[in-house]
Structure 1
Amino acid sequence: MKILSMISILICSLGLVFSTENYSSNLIKAASDKDVCSIMLQQLEKTNKTNLEMAYAGYYHCIWAKHAFNPMAKLSSFKKGRKLLDEAAEKEPKAVEIRLLRYAIQYNSPSFLGYKSSLTKDLEYVKQHKTNIKDKSLRIFLEKQGI
């Protein structure tokens, strides 16, 4: 696993472009693998950020909060991710992929963080439009989320 992480870091440092398929294929891995999450964040920092990339950055920042050691760093990363997810969803409310990312974070975030406000409407929207999702990694992610 360390070799894979090192190869990914090398690819990132060479400036090769990642696509949203790269970001979606690592959604599940990032929750348990700090290196994968870090690589995704580093790559997203280099982009001009479309609304979808902004949502992925938000997702990965929220996930990074799980890996951070310092409680203040955890909260800061989560807040940054939350802001990016909400901004992306506000700019592009009909993007099912953005709504799915925000739903996943809201569903899995602890209640004391108070980030559940769009949970129900995002879930309903994703359920209604999930047939529009063609990306295989996202389809697997939908299953893991129980949708």
Structure 2
Amino acid sequence: MKFLMVLISAISINILSIDINTVRKAYKEAAHDHNKIETFNNLLLKITKKDKAALVAYKGAAIALLAKQEKKIKDKKALFIEGVSYVEHAIEKSSNNIEVRFVRLGIQENTPKLLKYKDNIEEDKRFILKHFKGITSLNLKRYIKDYILQSKAFSDEEKTVISSQ
């Protein structure tokens, strides 16, 4: 009986855990297609600020993307601030996490100046460039590299260095 309980618990934990590669793919799709924002958000509904920093950052990104779809300025701003609070919490929780820095960079680079959320672009860019070579996950490395190569925040020289790694 005890073995059965442990087995059921292990299976349910695996079912409830979110695959980070699925989250990355959903984020990329949502950033390029407003019809996929809701799907991305739904994927992260159960994430709280107590979860892994990268998931918390992606939840913040999902909320920030939802803000774009709001009609009223007041609602847009409130949702955006909520999303940013998740991202900044993830940074506080794990400031040396390259994926968390990457998520913040992506949001800040693509946020209108009006929202005044662009203060960390250079800091995050330097962090990513410095630690890129040390990324052990091939999926994460390819994911960040693809973003850098199309980003306006990175110079042609920086893109060349990244593309050779």
Instruction: Identify whether the pair has TM-score above 0.5, normalized to the shorter chain.
Output: yes
Q: Does 1:142 align with 2:148?
A: yes
Whether the 8 Å CA contact 2:31–2:37 is kept in 1: the answer is yes
Deviation at 1:143, TM superposition (A): 2.2
For normalisation by structure 1, the TM-score amounts to 0.79
Q: Highest CA radius of gyration, 1 or 2?
A: 2
**Offset of residue 16 of structure 1:** 6.5
**Greater relative CO (CA pairs within 8 A, separation 6+):** 1
Q: What is the alpha-carbon distance in structure 2 between the residues aligned to residue 26 and residue 40 of structure 1?
A: 5
- In the other structure, the counterpart of 1:29 is 29
Retained in 2: the 8 A contact 1:58–1:82? yes
Residues in 1 aligned to 2:72 and 2:86: alpha-carbon distance in whole angstroms: 21
Matched AA of 2:103: L
* 1:75-104 CA distance string (max 9 Å, x none): 111111111111101110100010011011
- Cα distance in 2, alignment partners of residues 113 and 47 from structure 1: 25
State the match for 2:10 in structure 1: none
Structure 1 position 81 matched with structure 2 position 87: no
Amino acid corresponding to residue 139 of structure 1 in structure 2: K
Correspondence for 1:46:
46
Corresponding residue number in structure 2 for 1:11: none
* Residue of 115, 127, 130 corresponding to 2:129: 127
Corresponding position: 1:113 with 2:115: yes
Identity %: 22
User: Is the Cα–Cα contact under 8 Å of residues 111 and 117 in structure 2 kept in the other structure?
Assistant: yes
| Superposed structure 1 runs of 4+ greater than 6 Å apart | none
Q: Does the 8 Å CA contact 2:30/2:37 hold for their aligned counterparts? A: yes
Give the alignment's TM-score, normalised by structure 2: 0.71
Cα RMSD, aligned residues only: 2.0
Partners of 2:91 and 2:85 in 1: how far apart? 10
Correspondence for 1:63: 65
**Partner AA of 1:118 in structure 2:** N
Q: How many residues align?
A: 133
